[in-house]
A = this chain, B = another copy of it.
Amino acid sequence: MSKIPEPTIERLVLYSRPLETLLRTGTLVISSGKLARLCGVNAAQVRKDLAYFGEFGVRGVGYDVRDLLHHITSILGSNRQWRLCIVGCGNLGSALLQNENFKSRGYFFVAAFDLDSRRTGKELPGGLTVEAAEQIQDAVKERAIEVGVITTTRDRAQRAANLLMQAGIRAVLNFASTHIRAPECCLIENVDFTVKLENLAYHLSKTG
């Protein structure tokens, strides 16, 4: 089996979204061309991406919506539940804890920590209570947490990551706008809206 490009994985998530809608609205079959337009990508791209994982379509017809969606969620590993914790319970962290996009896709926050001990004990919307950083080690093991979400300030992000990694976490979603150093075995995904924003600014100032 050949190696699968990283961008392909990201696009699979993209494809799954309109598919969910199509399933709800009762569309049974969709062509690569139509799905491509819904996601803003090239039709051949859609076909190639899917072909990495099998032959899901029918020539001359298209893809069965329900079928394809099941295949994709199964490939992505989102056909099961995942347990998350958050480190950094400021505004952004609190907002994420309440965000429906996590729950609805099977991602559940089961712990919330903060490196600032003054926040310990604070009750958060969503039912969690802020725990101290010292609890990370035990909580990760006892509650079988697999993914850590970092929403601290920039200067605390590396420390947060270190604590998570020491506790055995191997996947981190980092919202702090800084590069986190980590060994190969630990995956870090960065969500950095300041990068995207400055990107917009660049293009605006270029075109006048």
Chain A residues close to B by CB (< 8 Å): 6, 9-10, 12-14, 17-18, 38-40, 75-78, 80, 82, 91-92, 94-96, 98-99, 101-102, 105, 107, 125, 146-147, 154, 170-173, 175, 177-179, 181, 187, 189-191, 193-206
Contact = CB atoms under 8 A, between A and B. Distances in A.
A154 to B, nearest CB: 8
A193 B100 CA distance: 12
B147 A204 contact: yes
A95 B191 CA distance: 15
A165 B14 CA distance: 23
A84 to B, nearest CB: 8
Contacts of A205: 76-77, 80
A72 to B, nearest CB: 10
Contacts of A39: 179
A55 B193 CA distance: 29
B13 A204 contact: no
Contact of A200 (B98, B101, B171, B206): B171
A83 B181 CA distance: 33
Contact of A107 (B13, B92, B197): B197
A13 B98 contact: no
A40 B125 CA distance: 35
Contacts of A200: 147, 171-173, 187, 189
Most buried by B among A39, A147, A197: A197
Given A191-B191, A204-B147, A198 B94 contact: no
B99 A201 contact: no
A10 B199 contact: yes
B77 A201 contact: yes
